[in-house]
Amino acid sequence: QCQKGTYATSTSSVCEQCPKGYYCTGGTNLTKCADGTYNDLVGQSSSSACKSCSGVVANCKSCLLTTGQCSACNDGYELKNGVCEQGSNELLFTYTGSYSETVNANGKQKIYLKSSGTFTSLNSKKMTLFLVGGGGNGVVHGTHGGGGGGGGYTNQTMFTFATNKQYNVTIGAAMEKTYFGSIYAEAGQKGYMRNGGAPNGGGACSDGEDGTQFDGEWFGGGGGGGDWGDWCWAGSGGLGGGGDEGRPGTENTGGGGSGGPPAYSGGSGVVIILAN
């Protein structure tokens, strides 16, 4: 039987020296060093021979198994000239759909995904993901007013993007959910005759309820319900407007449709990615 620091294969009786990147406890045992560690010496016999990658380069996450040369850094750091430097908070990406990218009032990266497509993250970053479902359609009540459609639901979550990972994105039209991968936001419900649409539409001559505020903007407000001779307003951030037949509403992202003639369709959803 082979001694510690050597090993034999199951088909050979010849004991060979334990190679770099591994340790050998004797017999046929050949064990690879764990992720995040390396071993640059031959003939090693215990796991203590496997040294941490961060011991060679600070904030190194993984390295070459036999040399310790850093190959990837911890989150928030970037590999430059063999060392891990504090990285920016910017998410690098490509997107096949329509989008825009801005910097918010606090100087943070803000990405709006406006049409369906494939999102590919090119680095690993933790961001805030905000989804708005499509708004509910308004419903006319006879020749007068009706129920304003509910604004699209919102979904806010912390999300860690993986390097070179693709995510399918579906931007919900009126009455449709919005998806980012498996994460989604529900659509607003259709308005009712002289009643509000769930979750936040306006009833007959009642204003639509406000939606959700995210990073200084309103999304998903309900459309105002309509009634003869009266004006009803959409909620803040609602793409549906007033429901009176003489003052039809307009449409905005994720808002419910107005209830007056004509009954406007709910607004489409949106996905927003914001740096922390």
- Residue 212 CA to residue 221 CA, distance in Å, equals 7
3-state secondary structure of 47: helix
- Residue 236 CA to residue 94 CA, distance in Å, equals 32
CA distances from 254 to 76, 136, 148 (A): 33, 8, 13
Across-strand partners of 245? none
Residues with Cβ within 8 Å of residue 27, at least 6 apart in sequence: 1, 2, 7, 8
* 63 secondary structure, DSSP code: E
Looking at the predicted structure, is the pLDDT value of residue 39 above 90?
A: yes
Residues of the chain above pLDDT 90, percent: 46
Res. 237 pLDDT band, cuts 50 70 90: very low
- Residue 161 CA to residue 159 CA, distance in Å, equals 6
Neighbours of 179 (CB within 10 A): 20
What are phi and psi for residue 131, nearest 5 degrees? -115, 140
Token readout for 89 is 């908070």
In contact, 59 and 75? CB cutoff 8 Å: no
Looking at the predicted structure, is the pLDDT value of residue 276 above 90?
A: no
Res. 161 pLDDT band, cuts 50 70 90: very high
- Residue 202 CA to residue 223 CA, distance in Å, equals 6
The answer to pTM > 0.75 is no
What is the bridge-based pairing of β-strands 109-113 and 125-132? unpaired
Average pLDDT over residues 205-213: 72
pLDDT at 238: 40
pLDDT at 195: 42
Handedness of CA 68, 73, 77, 79 (dihedral sign): positive
Mean pLDDT of all residues in the chain? 81
- Find tokens 């764990």 and name the residue: 34
- Residue 276 CA to residue 273 CA, distance in Å, equals 10
Res. 5 pLDDT band, cuts 50 70 90: very high
Average pLDDT over residues 128-148: 78
